[in-house]
């Protein structure tokens, strides 16, 4: 699932791509992420260019936690998205309560009708939520410009 590059006998995973839920919702079909055989979704990035994304970094506010179903519903400024596998990630500061502002790094499982990400890591950003929310779209745009 991860994009892997071979460099001098070593394998290196591509870093997560910062995305908004609306970009995933509008993403194209799965495409080969490279010669490694991984898969990714094509998202529309800055200046109309496309960017492959399989491992993503997203941020949003917890709307609903269904821990018995192993999921959390998050919302960013472009819509909602579901995070699966939340019971399987390392426990840090509890962040599965409605209203918490969190980051999630994970693998894109689906983009339609609603994005679904399988969590690898989650962290509570609530202490500076106003700043994180304000900067998030700019961070997404900047990283995507560098990658395209």
Instruction: Give tens-digit pLDDT for 27-80.
Output: 866 655 443 445 788 888 767 778 888 899 999 999 999 989 999 999 999 999
- Whether 52 and 35 have beta carbons less than 8 Å apart is answered as no
Percentage of the chain beyond pLDDT 90 is 43
- DSSP for 119-140, written as a single string: EEEEEE-GGGHHHHHHHHHHHH
- Does residue 112 surpass a pLDDT of 90? no
Identify the pLDDT of residue 73.
Answer: 97
Identify the pLDDT of residue 93.
Answer: 65
Instruction: Give tens-digit pLDDT for 72-92.
Output: 999 999 999 999 999 988 866
């Amino acid at each position: 699932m991860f994009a892997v590059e071979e460099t001098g006998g070593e394998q290196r995973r591509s870093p997560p791509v910062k995305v908004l839920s609306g970009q995933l919702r509008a993403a194209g079909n799965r495409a080969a992420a490279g010669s490694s055989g991984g898969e990714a979704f094509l998202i529309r990035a800055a200046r109309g260019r496309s960017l492959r994304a399989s491992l993503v970094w997203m941020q949003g506010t917890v709307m609903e936690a269904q821990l018995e179903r192993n999921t959390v519903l998050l919302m960013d400024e472009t819509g909602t998205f579901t995070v699966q596998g939340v019971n399987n990630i390392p426990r840090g500061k509890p962040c599965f309560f409605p209203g918490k502002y969190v980051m999630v790094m994970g693998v894109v499982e689906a983009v339609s009708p609603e994005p679904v990400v399988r969590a690898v890591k989650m962290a509570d950003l609530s202490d500076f939520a106003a700043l994180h929310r304000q900067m998030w779209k700019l961070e997404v745009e900047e990283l995507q410009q560098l990658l395209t």
